[in-house]
Every structure is written in C-alpha cells, then in structure tokens.
Structure 1
C-alpha cells in the first residue's frame, strides 16, 4: 500500500525552492496558497481549533515570503526582514494583509533597492497583499514618534530573514520614556478606541457588525494588549495576571471570547475570498452553516444562534476592556486617598468600590446592597474595576428569583420602585446580575432576530424601551406629544417598567412570545407578592403589548367602530394609559428610525378617541354623525376666524362627501377649504405643506376624477423620493377627486413644496402616461424574502372591499400595486402604508367603477395573482 500523499500546504516550501525561474515560482506560490486555503476551509468546517488554523495560515505565508526573499536578496546583504503588526504576532487570517519591514541602513537600502522592489512584486504576483516599509532603526524611531500606529505595529515583530537579534534592537530603540511615554501612549490609544467606537454608535449591537473594529471586537482586545505591553513591558495579556492587573477568570474569559471572534473572522475571510471584516447579511447564513449550526425553530434560526454568540462575546470583551482601561488609568495617575462613601464603601479615583468585595460571594444580598449604594451616589464615574471583577467572579452565587428568600425579592422590588430604577436595571443587565436573577432575561441576552426591523438584540431593545419610559417620567423627549402628560397618571409606574422588562422576554422559545411572556410575568408577580390587580394588569400588558400598535397602524382609527372595538378590549382608563406608554416605548425602542411624528399622532389620536369612548361609557358608543358634526363646527369656527365667508364655505362643503368630515381632522378640512376658496374655482388644485417633522409633507389634490389618478400620484411621489404613509382618497359630488396624502422623505430631506406641486400638476395633465420608475432593491433587502400574501374581506360598513398586502419591501412597491389596481379598473378610497424593516404591511379600501365592493371571487383571485406577480417580479 502506497503512503498517503503529503498535504499540499506542508510541501509548499520545498516546491518553491525547486522552481527554476520566477514564472515557475509564481505559479507554485499561487497554487500552494490556493491549496492551503482550501485545506484550511475543510479543517475549519471540521472544527479544528482556531489557534491551529491561524498558525497554519501564518506558516504558509512565511514559506512564501522567505522563499521570495531568498530568491531576490543575496545572502549577507545586511538587511533584515521582519513581520510586524498582526502578522508579527503570528495572527494571520486567510485574506489579511502582511505587514513587512525591511530593516537596514540607508546605504544598504539604496544598494538593494531593485532587489527589494522585485521581492515585493513577487509577493503581489503570488496573491499576497502586503503593507510594507523599508527603514533604518533611526527611521523607524522617527516614523514611530510621529505616528502611534507605526509604533504599535513595530511593537509586535519577529524575524523572517536576517539577524535574530533585530527585534530586540528595534524594541530598545523604541522603548519609553523618550518615545511615547506610557501615559501619553495610554491616552492616545484610549482616544483612538473612543473614536472607533463612535463610528459604530458605541454599540456592538449592529445588524452587520464589524468583527475586527466594532465595540467588543478583536481590536478592543488588541488595544488593551498593546497598552499592557507599553505600560508594563509584558508580552501579552496573560502576563498581566501575576501583576494583579487582570484576574485569572478575566484572562480566561478574554481568551475564550478571542477564539469565538477569531473563528468568525477566519470563516468570514474564507467565505468572502477577500479582506472582509463586517459580518454582513451576504455571509451570515452561510457562515452559520460552516460553523455547524442548524435551524431549531422559525424563531431560533442558525444565523440567530451564531449572532447571539457574537453579541455575547462582544459584551464580555467590552466589559473587561472597560475594567482594564480603568486599572491602567488608576496606575498611571498614582496613589490617591480613597473617599469614604458610606459604611463598607469608598470612592477610588471617582469610582465606587466595595471595601472587602469578597462579600459578593455570599450571593444576592450584598449585590443588591451595592446597587442601592450606587443609586445613592449618582455622580460616581462607575463601578471600580476591582469590585466589578469580584462581582463578575461571584455571579455563580446569585440564585434565580424563585430560590431567593422573600426579603431579598422585596429588596429587588424596592430598587425597581426607586427614581433610578431604569439605571439600576441597566446596570444589572450589563453586569450579568439580571440574567442570574431572572434567567428568562439571560436567554434573550445577545439574541437577535434575523430581519431588518429589529436592529437591536432583544436585551438591548428591552433596555432601550426602559430608557424611553424613564424619559417619559422626566419629560426628556419632545418626540412624544402626550407621553409626559399620561405618565404622571400611572398608579404604580414600576408596573410599566415590569411590562417593558417582560414584553419580549419569551422570544425565541417557539409559540406566541406575548402569551408566553404573560405567563412569565404572572409567575414573577406571584413570587414578588404583587396584589392580584397589579398582577392581572401586568400580564394583560405583556400579552396585549402589540394591540395598540396594530390597531393604529393597520386600521382606520377615524372609524368609530374601530375605536369602539379597541375600547372594549382596553376596558378602562388605567389599562389605556399603561398600554399607550408601553406602545410608544416599544416602537421607539425597536429602531432609531422607526418612531416618527406620524406614528406619534396616530397613537395620540387613538388614545384620545378611546379615552373619549371610555368616558361616555362603552354602552354609549360614539356615532359617526356626532364626529362629523363636531368636525364641521370646529372647522367652520376656524375658517370664519380667518375671514372666510360662511356661505362660501357651505357651498364648497356641499360637494364634500360626509365621510370626509369623519376621516379628516378639523384643521385639515379648514386647510383644504381655504385652498379651494382661494383657487377661484380652478379645475385642478394641488397644495403641499411641510407637516409634522423634518422630511414630512402633506399633499392635497382636488382634480376631476378619472381612471389611473391614484396610480399617477403615487408614481410621482416615488419619482420624487417620497414614501406614502397614509392616503385618503375621496370623491366629491361634483365629480372631483379629493385626495390627501401624508408623505415622508426617508433621509429627512424632502423636496421643496413648490417642486412637489409642479411635478404633480405635470403628472395630472395626462395621468395615463405616468409610470413608476424602476430601481434596484437595496443590497440588504435581497437577503430577506417575505412571501407575498394578498387577502380580501369586506369593510365593517359593507361598502368597501378591504385588501391587505404583506410582502418584501422594495423601491416603487406602492406605485406598482397602484398600476395593477388601475389595470383592473378598481378605485382606491383609502390606503394605510406600514413598513417594518424588510416587511411591508399595506391596507387598501377598494371599490369597482360603480363604487361598489368587489364581489366577484374570480376577479379577486385574478387580482391577487396579478399583485403577487408584480411584487415577486421586482426580486
């Protein structure tokens, strides 16, 4: 039996040495590197340790670099070849650049200039990307003095060819204090890290995080390593343990998380086949498969498991990174007498420290005491690193709340009812305490949802929701019109915080997370001795936390029957107040871009209408005739105050459909009426005004009604880069369309109203010729496919056909749907547009040409097929 062939990457050096000329060498080098990467990919998927994979990647590069050097530079040339930076410390990924330094005096550099250039060209031709420098020792010192990045790269170096003593000589030349003294180096690198974190909004919780540069990424690990090297002259993080600067547990945690991050980066390079550091949607699913992860349920996908692992690792790195920075700063600033801060506590350099932090190993009691002390000292810089380390090492002693004695559960509730409750909960979450006390929260820590709607992990979303609730109490955010008025009416504000804490706590378990979360909330409330009324309210809020959002965004809340149904579910003012605030915080806490003035008004309008219905009594529902009469009266008073003639107003209103006074606000009716009066009877009137927020516009169009009008208008909006949030499409008795649109510019910069008016007037000259533009879908949307679904039912009054469309968002979607409706000669009377990340949920009220509901099932089936074909055709 013949011996098994030697793996190709192990014979690379030999094959390079036997190459007769440069051409043969280049081919051997390229083929060897390709084979090596293929073999590394197989080993990666087989689960080989990341340390070994990185070492093999580095060894293959070393073989090529040394061979090229030997081919180009004569023996005894007097030059040294050093690997620096990441390559210098032996950490190389499949597509990383190679940092190389040719070290030699200027005369030798000049003498071998052509050979050095040939050397770098050979490496490039072989497929290795290099970042190179040719310097003498003096030139290295000069470059390092002017650029801390150069110094940092030179701090990690090893010899590839030449004098083995070269790294030591370089280290001596670059040694502090003459060059970048420790304090200066620390401040510069800390500032560099802060700037880098700011580019990622100071959070690792991005949908497409950078494994290398983002907060909690590999660069944070490297930064504290470099600081340790410069400040203490140690070779790496583990050498800080004997110095007392890094705990053994902390060091082991950083080593463990490095392996997680390094494995992700290694796999990402293999997939991308280029230097890619961002874990983008293009790679996430495939990388999860390479890692051997599998989908467990629809709400626990392999990609979500992988990303949860990343976010948890990043959180650990950030936590220990912060501790180390604090310790380095404290060491550099010298001794400072601690300031007493209550019995058993003191302030060290402005940080809260527990005297004798070993007490934390006793369990939850000392931890809650620490948190209460922290609450009482709002001006401290944070938790002292020594206490934070002791707390981290003591987390295992904290038992879940069902196993805690009643006194400690009560102590937790006292913290929850304090003015700084949200700050305390946030600290508990960041320090890992909340996940121990409330294990369900631990399960969603770092948990992402694979979509474009939820931009935060579940735990980060929850903390953001709580932060918004805190803002309501402090009147801190003007984006919420009435939240600061509602919040003071809460009987027990801490119940709102508990609802926020539990509303998404059951995500990822399978089943309805609202129902499962309500069960968790009841169990928690029972264990913490909440009164039955409070328990019922809390569980109801968790179970119904989507009710108000769904009602406001998907139904016509100007319809009294919609409001009546919602009011019956809410039942009383207390439930309404809590649900309104929870809904506002939940929407705003889902994405920084999701909350806008239109949603604020929708929820405020629904709140006001429901409150009125509850005040009248559910047995006395508000009727449409009452609302229309009130709208007429308020609008008339406004118009008369502006100098309009009552008779002229009534003539205009004579052609208005009654439903207009139901769907439009009095202020809108007054605006429209004034415009019609001032137009002097013009057949076509277009009015545009800024509305509600930056980038928001309201448009009113009065024009002779004809087929294709709605399609032409929305196609024009699409061309102008405006998204439709809401459309009210009415018809007057004198044959005019009365169409009102709420629009928003996605980037917050809407065209000037005059430009919008001119574009619409041009489109209205011949609506049949207006076609929507065709644009490619954004890159991110390609990775999230929502199957198109179209459903029909009859509106509550039986006069309209209600069509709902759920599908993937895409440019020109509404305009394309409008074209299909136009083709089927259907009229749009109302449209409600809602986008949730990659998912669109649009609702339309339709009739046929005779303003009758569409009752032909065959026609509806044909319409459904046409819309699905139009939507899918955009992919």
Structure 2
C-alpha cells in the first residue's frame, strides 16, 4: 500500500533569500518566502502520496518552517541579547503537519518598546508569508508565574526548544521546568489525569465515536504526548530523542509495549497528515465528509459490501486509538503506583497477594506456567473488597504471557473452565469481561472477538465499533440485575432473577455480532462460532442450542415489533412458533433490549419499550399451551368492546351513547386498537356532539407515544394534510391507522414522537398540535406546502437510491419503501400518494440510522388494490420526490 520511506528522498530544505539583520522583510522577500513555503508543502504532499513516512515529512516541514522563522527573526531583530525565540507544542517536538499551528514563545528579559515593535513585525511577517502562528511574549518571571498557576502552560514548556536568540534564556527556561517546587510529581500526575478525564468526557469517554478526534479524543495523539510528559516529569525519563525509550529504561514500559505505542502513533500520524491534506486546513476530526476520500487516498479498497474500504480505514484508526487508550490507562496506573509506597503484601489464596488496593502474582512465571490464572485473577478481583487494579509488574506479565501464549489460550481446558466459572457469576461477570478486554485477554480467549476489534460499520445506525458495542450490550444485560434499573426496565428486571443460567445470555451477547464484516449473514456465521466455542467450554447440548439459537435469531424480536403489525394475532402466532418456549422468549427479550440500547443510546424510547413489551406479553400468552390466543375476529371484537365499555362507564358515559358511536365504527377499529384507545376515541366523539373536525391529542398514550386522533369527513389528501402539519411541528410518525366509518368519516390515529428528542410530546407541544391541526382541517381542502429543511451534514454522506416494492395484501396493496431518511420524508411520501390518487389505510414507520424502512397498505380512490398502471404512476411520483439529490 505504501512505498518504503527509504526508497524515496525527502524534499530538500528550502534555500532562503539573503537576509540583512534588523532590516525587516521586504515585500519582494515576503512573496519569495510565501512561494517557498508553498513549494515545500506541495513537495511534501507529493512525497506523502508516493509513500514517504508521515513522521519524516512532518519533521521535514518542521525543519523548513524553522528555517523560515529564524530567517524572519533575524531580519526583524538581528543577533540580540536577552531575547530568544522558542518553539512550543508540536513545533517544539519537531513535528508540523501540513496545516498545524506554529506555536512560538518569545522570552525576553526586558520588554522595551523598540523590541516589542520588532517582535510584532516578526510575527506579522510570519502570518503574511502563510504561517498560522500562535505566539506569546513573556519575561522569565511572568513565564514562571503562569507555569505555576496553569499546568498546561507548564507542560508546554516541557517541549520548548530554542530556535534562535540568546542561549542564556535557554538556561532560564530550563530552570523553570526543572524546579522541583513547580508541579511536583504527585501534583503534576493528578493534574494531568484530571485534564485527561475532562477531555475524554467531551468525547463520551470512548475512542469509538463515529467521527473521532485524532488529536484530543481518547486514544488520540494527545494521550501519547501526555505519557511522554508524565515520563519526563514523574519518572525523570528525559530521553528527548524518544521519551518512550526512557520510560522503558525506568521500567514503566516494556519493549513490546513501546513497539505497540510507536506503531499506533505512526498510524495516527499518517492519518493526521492525510486528513490535513484532504481538508485543506488544520482539521483533527475524521468527519464523514472526509472518511471515504481518505480511505481512497491511503489505498484502502472495498473487499465486499460488508467490508468496505472506508470501514477498513476506520478500523485502522480504532485499533491504533484503542491500543493507545488501553496502554495509556495502564501506564497512568503505573505512575500512580510508583508514587505510592508499597504496603506489606497480604496473601490472597495460593497464587496471589495484594499490596493495599492492588493485586499481584506470587510467582513471576505463573501466567505462563498455568494460563488459567489469567482468568482467575479477574474473578478474584470481583470478590476481593477494596481492589482497584493490578500492580504494574502483574499487568506487564499478563501482557507478556498473553502474547507468548497467542491462540493457545483459546484451547487451554483449564483456562476455558475458569472462563465458564466467570460467566456463571452472572451480572458481576460483565465488569470482569470489560477489564479483560482492556488488557487484551478477551480476544486471546475468543480469537473471533479479536477480528472485530475496532471493526466499524459505515452507517449512522451503529455508533460504536463491534467490540465496543458488544461490551455495551453486556453492560446493559448486567443492568437488569440491579434494583436501580427496575423503573426503566420493569419486565426485564422481573425476568432476570428467574434465569436459571444467566451465563447463556452473556455468551449470546458475546457472540451475537462476532461475525460482522466477514461477508454473508453475520447471524448465521456467528451461530457457527458460538457452537464451536460452547462445545469447547463443555456445555450440555441443550445449553449450546439455546445460545446458538439466540445468536441466530437475535434480530427477530426487534424486526418483528418494528416492521410488522403485532396487533395481528397471526403475526404474534408466527413469532411464537419461531421462539418455541417461554424460557427462550425471556432470553430473547433481554438480549433485544440490551442490543438496541447498545447500538445507540438514542435508539431507545418509550415507543420501542412499549412495542417490545406488547410483543413479549402477547407471545407469552400465545405460548401457554392451555390458552390459545383468540384469532377469530368476532371473539376479539367482543372482548375489545366489552373492556372499552367498562372504561367508558367508569367515566360516566352511558352505554347507549357508546353503542350509537360504535354502530359507525368498522370492525377493524376493534381489531387494531386497544380497549383504552377505543374508549378514548369514543369519549371524544360523544363529547363533541357531532362537531367536526374533531382533533384529540393524548400527550402520553398507552402505546408509549403521543397519540393523535382525527375524526373528520373523509377526503382525498387528508393523510397528506395531516403529515404536512406534523412535519411542520417537528413530529415523527411511528405508526398510522387510517380507517373509515360506515358513514364516510375518517377515523385516523397517529402515534407520534417529537423529532428531536424521540420522546412523547410535552403537554404544551401536544396542545399546539391540537389547535393548529384543528384550524388547518377546518379550512377547505388545499395543497399543503411542505416545510423545506436542509438535510443534515451526516445524512448527506449516506444517500441511497430508494427501493420500492408492491405486493398483494388481500383487498389492498402493500407498499414497502426503503430509502435514506431525511426531514419531512413521510410528508413527502404522503403528498406523492395524494398526487397519484392513492389512499393510505395503514402505515408502519421504522428508521435505522440513516435508513428508513416504511410499510403502507394502500388502495385507489375506490378502495380497490392498485392496478399496474397506478402502481407505475405512484412509483414515478415517489422517485421524483425521494431521489438522493433531492
């Protein structure tokens, strides 16, 4: 993919114009310097494209910029005493990427006006020739005072490098940095760790963001810089050529860790150099705007549709950042340990001891001699109170043993037996699995898990890499065991204590996405992996079948609830037949919730909670052998009417009034609505005493949404008018029931969430919807203009051609639409249907990241299925409105 750096010569250092000290820089010389800088940057870009190492090019740019900076300083100030110019930041470390800031510190003993004017001229000239300069002018006293107040100022001085000027000031600056009274090791470490935590919190405390920050995000280049700063200040590992080698000498790193960090750093440098070139500015975020282009620039190619070049490119970043983040956390713990005097060891079993809050191994060769101890150590940590980590030596030996054993750990019977003991602890095992992953042990036991390490999916639905998602699913599963989760997940928390073997659920969570990116159906491939591993664990056949079934069908409950009509007994019956028994249903329900929340926190809402709860309850009913789910329509209608009537009588509404209203209701109202909904609609109609249009809004209905009921004389275009208003008021439609009474009234029900929050509407917003829609429907029918809103920056990068399919559905036509989601999508679809002369009778709306999957039951204006000619007209109208460029 790249050429060896040694095979290509670096661009030469620039030749500068002749300079006369203290003469200033003429306009001609400025133009020459500007041209020279442009030539250097173009040559560096060409060399990068040809495969030269990014770090070598960043060093060459630093050297070139240094020559220009020194040239301008000399032209403006000449050879001066009591003044010097220092490079700080990345420039101080000798690295400048294509659009990096040039950070400078001018240290002066006496800031007389003439010297300050010369410095202003110097910095203005540097800006004029094309350098983005960040500068400060201080005397040594000011410098020391600021460094004492602000750890970031002190840290910047660690990298300070004199470029030109009085050498005496080099000594003055070194005296500030080396002063033991300024930021002693303990204080410096605490300040750096606090800064790290604050910085990481801005990025959701994970390296696995969809648009990660190469520099400041967790596992970014700032983490590596911080390790070097800590090494020099805390451990005095001041090897300026390579501070990591100094940390090896101090025993804070072993050579293998140094190699891993340096390899990760080279990857991050390469990506950062390419990103600056692609963006044309100092961009540090791997935005969707650049990801595909960067993958092409760096030579990544699509392997197949489930392993795109851009996904391989991002996996390279995630793997590098994850290595840096993991080792960064572990090395920081070593610094803490180094500054804490060790306590007396206390024995913990035969093989382990504890030093205060840290566990250690007795025998340095324990992990190699008996690999199962690697797992046992994590089990021990769960049960040993007050433990916060492992000693530095134990962590190092853990990593060395894991590397030495390689894949042999996955086949070690004792290690697998220990892993099974861990899983059988249930919910507490999740924390141990998370920590094992941090130390690289989980991938050693599950090699297939190592393949999805850093594996991203290029869409807006999956916001984490596969490995991070899996760990979050495990965490969500473990939450069901905690009393605090009962308010949010009452059914799940009732199920958890009844599980006889919670380890089966943990295994299913570990394997449900383990085959992502291989090509083919990841559920099928994952089932094979799960079967092989569970067999090696020695699980009974029935347990293996339970785990593999869950892996194979882990998406079944979610897709059934969101894409099918779960009020239809046939849908529930088919789902129940696939599930088979109540124990399997319990496990699938827990896994489904944990999977949805672990995919993206924004995906979970009251609507999906209610959907899954309804499907779970209906399926449990269907699975009871002694009770059949009533599937005949007359029985279901009678039961719904009876329950609704009880609710209405409790409101004080006479049964006769209810029955008069119901004589006009179609049978499908009682088949497709809950008794609570029928009672609410009936009560509204009775109270309206014949007045129309009737618009009722329930801010929080029994379906976990805001429910809208429209009762108005039916007319063509009504669905389009309502959806246009909903779009204008920023509501998302989850489901729509479009029914007609026997006397020509529309009985339309919409289940809604607020578009921004994906939560039910506030009472104020619900009332606004009621009033505005009532006014709109009271007007004569007219074309409702859609609100024009720009497609978000994210969605612009995930455009897809719409896929539209028609199929027979009894006396109606089923329309399936898959396309890119966007603001106002449903309203646009509704207008296309109105223009084509198509009536909507039912709508189910599902959105998965950038992908909308909507299903409609439609007819022509005579309530007949769509003929081919009308299907073609509707297809054309939809494509006109939904094409990606629209």
Quickly name the TM-score band, shorter chain normalised.
over 0.9
Q: Is the 8 A contact 2:806 2:816 kept in 1?
A: yes
Residue 407 of structure 1, CA deviation: 4.1
Deviates more, 1:66-75 or 1:331-340: 331-340
Change in Cα spacing, 1:439 to 1:326, as seen in structure 2 (3 Å) is same
Residue 866 of structure 1, CA deviation: 1.9
Matched with 1:631 is 640
Q: Secondary structure at the match of 1:589?
A: helix
Do residues 56 (structure 1) and 60 (structure 2) align? Answer: yes
Residue 364 of structure 1, CA deviation: 2.6
Do residues 81 (structure 1) and 90 (structure 2) align? Answer: no
Distance 1:358 1:37 in 2: 52
Change in Cα spacing, 1:471 to 1:626, as seen in structure 2 (3 Å) is farther
Matched with 2:381 is 374
CA deviation map 1:449-483 (0-9, x unaligned)? 01000001101111111111112233543333411
Q: Secondary structure at the match of 2:85?
A: strand
TM-score using structure 1 length: 0.95
Q: Is the 8 A contact 1:152 1:226 kept in 2?
A: yes
Q: Is the 8 A contact 1:16 1:29 kept in 2?
A: no
Stretches of structure 2 lacking an aligned partner (at least 5 in a row): 1-7
Distance 1:399 1:249 in 2: 14
Which residue of 157, 162, 166 corresponds with 1:159? 162
Residue 338 of structure 1, CA deviation: 3.6
Q: Secondary structure at the match of 1:112?
A: helix
Do residues 312 (structure 1) and 316 (structure 2) align? Answer: no
Do residues 14 (structure 1) and 25 (structure 2) align? Answer: no
Q: Is the 8 A contact 1:104 1:135 kept in 2?
A: yes
Distance 2:198 2:382 in 1: 29
Q: Is the 8 A contact 1:462 1:589 kept in 2?
A: yes
Q: Secondary structure at the match of 1:769?
A: coil
Distance 1:811 1:689 in 2: 24
Matched residue count: 866
Residue 335 of structure 1, CA deviation: 4.0
Distance 2:224 2:871 in 1: 60
Change in Cα spacing, 1:11 to 1:343, as seen in structure 2 (3 Å) is closer
Q: Is the 8 A contact 1:85 1:155 kept in 2?
A: no
Q: Secondary structure at the match of 2:299?
A: coil
Q: Is the 8 A contact 2:221 2:268 kept in 1?
A: yes
Q: Is the 8 A contact 1:16 1:28 kept in 2?
A: no
Residue 583 of structure 1, CA deviation: 1.5
Do residues 757 (structure 1) and 770 (structure 2) align? Answer: yes
Distance 1:519 1:799 in 2: 43
Deviates more, 1:134-143 or 1:326-335: 326-335
Q: Is the 8 A contact 1:211 1:261 kept in 2?
A: yes
Distance 2:308 2:626 in 1: 47
Q: Is the 8 A contact 2:82 2:110 kept in 1?
A: no
CA deviation map 1:259-283 (0-9, x unaligned)? 1111111111111111111111111
CA deviation map 1:210-260 (0-9, x unaligned)? 011111111111112112222233322321222222222222222221111
Do residues 450 (structure 1) and 458 (structure 2) align? Answer: yes
Q: Secondary structure at the match of 1:725?
A: strand
Matched with 2:425 is 418
Distance 2:581 2:373 in 1: 41
Question: Considering only aligned residues, what root-mean-square deviation do their CA atoms show, in Å?
Answer: 2.3
Q: Is the 8 A contact 2:140 2:173 kept in 1?
A: yes
Q: Is the 8 A contact 1:444 1:459 kept in 2?
A: yes
Q: Is the 8 A contact 1:82 1:157 kept in 2?
A: yes
Change in Cα spacing, 1:77 to 1:110, as seen in structure 2 (3 Å) is farther
Distance 1:223 1:590 in 2: 31
Residue 441 of structure 1, CA deviation: 0.7
Do residues 727 (structure 1) and 736 (structure 2) align? Answer: yes
Matched with 1:3 is none
Distance 2:406 2:396 in 1: 19
Change in Cα spacing, 1:20 to 1:600, as seen in structure 2 (3 Å) is closer
Change in Cα spacing, 1:732 to 1:123, as seen in structure 2 (3 Å) is same
Distance 1:411 1:183 in 2: 38
Q: Is the 8 A contact 1:448 1:456 kept in 2?
A: yes
Distance 2:253 2:312 in 1: 30
Change in Cα spacing, 1:403 to 1:440, as seen in structure 2 (3 Å) is closer
Q: Is the 8 A contact 1:708 1:822 kept in 2?
A: yes
Matched with 2:587 is 578
Matched with 2:4 is none
CA deviation map 1:57-84 (0-9, x unaligned)? 1012112211211221133354211111
Q: Is the 8 A contact 1:26 1:125 kept in 2?
A: yes
For residues 214-229 of structure 1, what are the structure 2 equivalents within 5 Å?
A: 214-229=217-232
Change in Cα spacing, 1:7 to 1:22, as seen in structure 2 (3 Å) is farther
Change in Cα spacing, 1:248 to 1:638, as seen in structure 2 (3 Å) is same
Stretches of structure 1 lacking an aligned partner (at least 5 in a row): 1-5
Matched with 1:779 is 793
Matched with 1:436 is 444
Matched with 1:260 is 267
Residue 543 of structure 1, CA deviation: 1.3
Distance 2:516 2:482 in 1: 30
Distance 1:692 1:530 in 2: 45
Change in Cα spacing, 1:437 to 1:363, as seen in structure 2 (3 Å) is farther
Q: Secondary structure at the match of 1:160?
A: strand
Matched with 1:713 is 722
Q: Secondary structure at the match of 2:45?
A: helix
Q: Is the 8 A contact 1:789 1:868 kept in 2?
A: no
Matched with 2:333 is 326
Do residues 271 (structure 1) and 278 (structure 2) align? Answer: yes
Matched with 1:353 is 360
